[in-house]
Chains A and B, each alone.
Chain A
Amino acid sequence: MKDFTLNLNNDYRYLKTGYYVSMHAEVLGNRVIPSSESIIAASRTPILLLKASKAGIPTVPYLVTGSVQNIISELGFPLVVFAVNPFCYDGYRIARNRSALYRAVRGLSMNYKFAVCAQPLRGEMVSFKSVFGRCGLEGEVARVSMRVYRVFQLPICKLHVQKVGREAYLCGLQPLRIEEVLPADLETVGEEVSRMSRMGEHLVG
């Protein structure tokens, strides 16, 4: 019998239990949320942005490189910089001038060993929890949150979005720390699980 697996975890990082649960469910032939492919894609900022923009989610241009010169000549200032390395999963740095950019790239690339993902900063950065796409915010930010969930299906995560006027642009995604998951979030999870069961999904685990 093929089952549907809803894999609930605050931390879906690659090589962690949250990842292995989805991977093993797929090997068994089960449908699973989130898929192991989505877990990896969502945690690599350039892939997240590429897949999101293909799905019509607003993003800003980005550059994957280890070169500060390339970033300055292609994107200018100010910038928001994300890590693209196996060790950093959280946060970003904002660079408004050359020395801040050097510091950001040096730190996030682990002394230029890895690339970084730089994006122009056109507005204000907003970071928030997304639980099944619900974020408790309004307007375009809420729309981005829901659309990211529809594409990547990560039930619990933190999103980084740029607000430019009334528009919102996806910038990055990261796992939540366990202490960031509050009772209200668990209620949202409970509601969503009930909704899935009502819709006829046979949940395991």
Chain B
Amino acid sequence: MEKYNFSDQREATALQNFRRTAQSMGHEFDFLFREGIPEIPRYDAVFIRATTDPLFTSYVVSKTAWELGKRVIDDPESIQICGNKIHLYDLFERHDVPHIPTMFLNKEDLHHKRLVEVFETLGKPIVVKAPYTSFSKYVEKVACETSFRDVAKRYFRKSDMLAVQTFMPTAFDWRVGVLNRRTLYVCKYMIPKGRWKHGAKRRGKPTFVWGRTVALKTENAPSKLKEVALKACDVIGHGLYGVDIKEFNGSYVVVEVNDNPSIYAGYEDSRNTDLYGKIIEYLVD
């Protein structure tokens, strides 16, 4: 865990729900922070609730637990794949997972001829994504070559590649929670009015505005939606994932698969209250 996991009351409540559920099932459940890393060998399983990335401490925790033979959510391979959108979309292409039309660019592609090709192929505007995007950060919409160069130069400081995608405006993104190749919960992440993604930065301020979350019972969600979500997770692994999907012209396309998906009390769990028990069960299995 990181301390910021407790800064939002709904996430803090969800974490207490995990603890209460585990204890009611006869297990011990402790919150470990960064200082607790040396304690990992004492536990049977590790459930990471922090921003994951192969460069962050959370990956060290995951890999350490994995190497010690523990059950771990998120496992290191899932962090490696989901934490890098180039890896993710490369796998989607390879395994025919329906996803938003995507092109990969490297630094040498940042010239007029190539950028004209990109706009001709994907249309205008396009979405530029840094491989390490999470929580709607490092994703920007651009409609001209000048803006594209500005964004790309920033993202290329850290990564030698980036992804560009067709812009698909929708009123909401589906979020399908998947655990061990089964649907765990389904939500609609609404796009705030006048914005184009679920979490958007307020103009001139460091804070974000988030759209509403509308939960559905999993059995009431379209079966084709669940099928696409499961197919996307199949190419990654069998951990816990949050699959973002757009419904566009009657078909479903995967936006991305996230490891360590948000679980906030009253949001993701509101129509699927058993998700806590299912996750604990998977951890101790």
Contacts and interface: CB of A to CB of B under 8 A. Distances in A.
Nearest to A51: B67
Interface residues of B, number: 30
Interface in B50-99: 53-57, 59-60, 63-64, 67, 76-77, 80, 84, 86-87, 90-91, 94
Interface in A20-61: 20, 23-24, 27-28, 36-37, 40-41, 44, 46-47, 50-51, 54
Interface in A79-133: 84-86, 114-115
Contacts, number: 75
B194 interface: no
B90 A23 contact: yes
A14 B90 CA distance: 16
Interface stretch (A62-70, A139-147, A156-164, A188-196): A62-70
Nearest to A28: B94
A47 B60 contact: yes
Interface stretch (B153-161, B168-176, B184-192): B153-161
B106 interface: yes
Interface stretch (B32-40, B202-210, B262-270): B32-40
Contact of B56 (A51, A66, A86): A86
B64 A27 contact: no
A27 B38 contact: no
B239 interface: no
Contacts of B261: none
Contacts of A65: 34-35, 37-38
B242 interface: no
A27 B94 CA distance: 7
Interface in B132-158: 132, 158
Contact of B63 (A17, A20, A41, A114): A41
A66 B35 CA distance: 7
Contact of B60 (A27, A44, A54): A44
Interface of A: 14-17, 20, 23-24, 27-28, 36-37, 40-41, 44, 46-47, 50-51, 54, 63-67, 70, 84-86, 114-115
In the complex, the 10 A-B pairs of residues with the closest C-beta atoms, listed nearest first: A86-B55, A15-B159, A27-B90, A17-B160, A64-B37, A47-B63, A40-B54, A16-B160, A115-B57, A46-B60
Interface of B: 34-35, 37-38, 53-57, 59-60, 63-64, 67, 76-77, 80, 84, 86-87, 90-91, 94, 106, 131-132, 158-161
15 contacts: A15-B132, A17-B160, A20-B160, A27-B90, A27-B94, A40-B54, A40-B80, A47-B60, A47-B67, A50-B64, A64-B57, A66-B34, A86-B56, A115-B34, A115-B57
